[in-house]
């Protein structure tokens, strides 16, 4: 079994998803996380989410558009399938569908949500996890990165969780819990947020403006 205590410490956002997936049939969209090299690096760090889904869920399926990485994982005996997150049909239903660090790279959010809903069992959950655009410290980092450094050139959209509630209703998806949280990693940025969290009194931390990551849970109602 993977080192769950390590993930709890350095990947609270991913650990939250693992807990929600306990004993459930799950589908992780974009499970590769960029490349085979990325998989190996995250496995070495103990943060590759799909590894934990394998051990904690009832059954885990992955979906990704990287053919080489999908073939690599299939050779390991993992149920990972090739497909586009914006339009896919696996012909199966899942208790939990997961999209971690994915939605901000998509061009077709409409196709993504329709495909996700099609694969959700009744009362199933779609869990979306991503960077929080409202985080004030993170906004400062993005500003200097985009104006003085090297900007991210593969980001298409950033969603605001509270407004996303209204958008999701159009797809028969009801937003339940929204969790603002420190994301995965041991970078200087992550350490900075952990330090400030320890120093500041809890009543002075307004979660949507402080935490650099969010997790939205959407339930399939109809």
Predicted confidence at residue 201, as pLDDT, reads 82
Res. 147: pLDDT tops 90: no
Distance CA 67, CA 25 (A): 24
Could you tell me how many residues make up the chain?
222
Predicted confidence at residue 152, as pLDDT, reads 61
Predicted confidence at residue 21, as pLDDT, reads 96
Distance CA 211, CA 121 (A): 31
Q: Could you tell me which residue, 48 or 196, shows the higher pLDDT?
A: 48
CATH of the domain at 32: 3.40.50.150
Report the number of secondary-structure helices (H) and strands (E) in the chain. 10, 7
Continuous segment of H or E residues that includes residue 181: strand 173-181
Res. 73: pLDDT tops 60: yes
pLDDT tens digits, 153-168:
678 888 999 899 889 9
Q: Of all residues in the chain, what percent carry a pLDDT higher than 90?
A: 61
Predicted confidence at residue 150, as pLDDT, reads 64
Res. 222: pLDDT tops 70: no
Token pair of 138 as six digits: 């993170």
Predicted confidence at residue 127, as pLDDT, reads 97
Range of the domain at 193: 4-220
Predicted confidence at residue 153, as pLDDT, reads 64
CB atoms within 10 A of CB 144: 10
Provide the whole-model pTM: 0.91
Angle of helix 136-148 relative to helix 188-199, nearest 10 degrees, comes to: 150
What average pLDDT is seen over the chain?
89
Res. 1: pLDDT tops 60: no
Q: Of all residues in the chain, what percent carry a pLDDT higher than 70?
A: 94
pLDDT tens digits, 3-50:
788 888 888 899 999 999 999 999 999 999 789 999 999 999 999 999
Predicted confidence at residue 22, as pLDDT, reads 95
User: For 203, which DSSP code?
Assistant: G
Q: How distant, in Å, are the alpha carbons of 15, 137, 194 from that of 10? A: 9, 19, 10
Backbone angles phi, psi at 203, to 5 degrees: -70, -15
If one counts the domains in the chain, the total is 1
How does DSSP assign 189-202, residue by residue?
A: HHHHHHHHHHHS-G
pLDDT tens digits, 103-139:
999 999 999 999 999 999 988 999 999 999 899 887 8
């Amino acid at each position: 079994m993977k080192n769950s205590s390590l993930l709890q410490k350095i990947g609270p956002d991913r650990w939250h998803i693992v807990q929600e997936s306990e004993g459930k049939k799950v589908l992780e969209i974009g499970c590769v996380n960029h490349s085979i090299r990325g998989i190996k690096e995250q496995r070495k760090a103990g943060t590759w989410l799909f590894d934990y889904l394998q051990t904690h869920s009832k059954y885990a399926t992955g979906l990704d558009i990287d053919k080489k990485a999908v073939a690599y994982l299939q050779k390991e005996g993992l149920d990972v399938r090739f497909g586009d997150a914006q339009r896919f049909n696996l012909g199966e239903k899942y208790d939990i569908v997961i999209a971690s660090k994915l939605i901000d790279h998509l061009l077709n959010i409409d196709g993504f949500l329709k495909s996700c809903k099609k694969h959700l069992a009744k009362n199933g959950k779609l869990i979306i996890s991503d960077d929080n655009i409202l985080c004030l410290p993170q906004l400062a980092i993005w500003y200097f990165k985009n104006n003085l450094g090297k900007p991210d050139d593969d980001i298409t959209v950033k969603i605001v969780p509270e407004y996303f509630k209204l958008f999701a209703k159009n797809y028969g998806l009801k937003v339940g819990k929204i969790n603002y949280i420190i994301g995965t990693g041991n970078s200087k940025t992550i350490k900075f947020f952990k330090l400030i969290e320890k120093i500041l009194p809890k009543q002075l931390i307004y979660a949507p403006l402080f935490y650099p990551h969010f997790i939205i849970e959407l339930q399939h109602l109809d």
